[in-house]
Structure 1
Amino acid sequence: MDLKKNSVTDIYLINNGDKTIKLLPYFETPIEFQNRSLEPMLQCFPKFIILKPKEQKIVKLEFKRNEKLEFKKNEDYKSYIIFKELPTDSKSIQNEDTIILNEIGVGIIGQNSK
């Protein structure tokens, strides 16, 4: 991402499985980037995602520049958008079946070059 301007980026999510999945997107920053985090300037829409089997959805990732912050030149700023799968069947949880939920992170790197 270019840190000099506000932007919106599309993220394409595809459910290639045979079951409906629910996803909760959130942001996280690696420890080594805590002083160069993008989290406060990022938003994701929608805030909650339901993907039916073989369905594709577009998630909007918005970067809104904070004019009060001054970005250092030639330094990278980084955060992750994490998509966490949520349980879809409360009966399975109550019956204590083994449930494996997925979580995937996509790195977001902002640069302030020149």
Structure 2
Amino acid sequence: MSDKVWTVLVLCTGNSARSILGEALLGRMGEGRILAFSAGSKPKGVPHPGALRYLAANGYDLSAFRSKSWDEFASAASSPIDIAITVCGNAAGEACPIFTGAPVRTHW
């Protein structure tokens, strides 16, 4: 078994609900094996209150979650991304920036 920690970026248009929930679930379920992030092409600026209620009810520390642009992960200074997952049809159809690390891309 590999000791590699995979870096996963979950993408959605608004980065307010689905992608943040994906980041949370992958981060918790893959703890020690997956470093999860989320972002959006047109971020809303704040996570959806319903998503935050769900995370709080399930014991997540909410301070780690914020709505952010996928451009944060396209700069040379950002961590390399191993896997980029789109979780909405709009984001899947958009032209994504080039992410450091030349990630595998998939749609869920």
Provide the TM-score with structure 2 as the length reference: 0.25
Which structure: greater strand fraction? Answer: 1
Query: Of the two, which has the highest radius of gyration?
Result: 1
Which structure: greater helix fraction? Answer: 2
The structure showing larger relative contact order (alpha-carbon pairs under 8 Å, at least 6 residues apart) is 1
